[in-house]
Amino acid sequence: THFGYKTVETNEKEQMVAGVFHSVAAKYDVMNDLMSFGIHRLWKRFTIDCSGIRKGQKVLDLAGGTGDLTAKFSRIVGETGQVVLADINDSMLKVGRDKLRNKGLGNNIAYVQANAEALPFPDNHFDLITIAFGLRNVTDKDKALASMQRVLKPGGRLLVLEFSKPQHEVMSKLYDFYSFNILPKMGSLVAQDSESYQYLAESIRMHPDQETLKAMMEQAGLEQVEYFNLTDGIVALHRGFKF
């Protein structure tokens, strides 16, 4: 346990999805930079800018993986705040924890192995929840969104950064070619793991588009939901509030 938070057991199906991330954990950061040409850094920067996060607040970086967002939040919330880096996968958590410790961060960070569908936190607890490139891996997304809504404080915000639907035909074609032809090859060359990157491409294609995700968030009880298309909608940032 960390800061008194209990972790939960995960079921077999989710363990299977998480298995992909056991396999990519060690190479995850380097692959992210390669596959996105470094642009994921801009998407994450934009997320921080839209978060309204302040010193002293409590943040949940859900499906936080190797902790890119956690590192930024940790600096902003300071010693009086707290960041929980939660992920279903202990390999990703371990890579994240080692990385953040090497950066000299950690005093205000808790690491929790948890399934987004059943968050092991009290009601009305966090000022901000982010889930970056995580929701598409979750089996029951509605259940996960309801769980996030539950642990958000009234007045709190949920930010979902995720692959979405390119807005223009040309971009859409380019992107399809890239993700089904080039991406798995990069995965096999750099990480000796084309299957995991094939899975990633497929999970991206199956993820709900901008309007569908917005409706799902509203269904979970979030309000004033809006989204921002990034890189022509290859990625979208959705934001909603709990009141």
Binding site for ligand SAM (CB under 6 A): 14, 17-18, 21, 63-66, 68, 87-89, 92, 115-117, 132-134, 137-138
163 contacts: CB under 8 Å, gap ≥ 6: 133, 136, 204, 207, 234, 235
Of 163, 200, 168, 167, which Cα lies nearest the Cα of 183? 200
Q: In the bound complex, what is the minimum distance in angstroms from residue 42's beta carbon to ligand SAM?
A: 13
Q: In the bound complex, what is the minimum distance in angstroms from residue 113's beta carbon to ligand SAM?
A: 9
Choose between 64 and 81: whose C-beta lies nearer to ligand SAM.
64
The two most distant CA atoms of the chain are separated, in Å, by 50
- Residue whose CB is nearest to ligand SAM in the complex, by number: 65
Choose between 134 and 166: whose C-beta lies nearer to ligand SAM.
134
CB 160 within 8 A of CB 46: no
- What is the rounded CA–CA span in Å between residue 25 and residue 93? 9
Q: In the bound complex, what is the minimum distance in angstroms from residue 206's beta carbon to ligand SAM?
A: 14
Choose between 110 and 170: whose C-beta lies nearer to ligand SAM.
110
Choose between 19 and 155: whose C-beta lies nearer to ligand SAM.
19
| Residue tagged 């490139």 (tokens) | 133
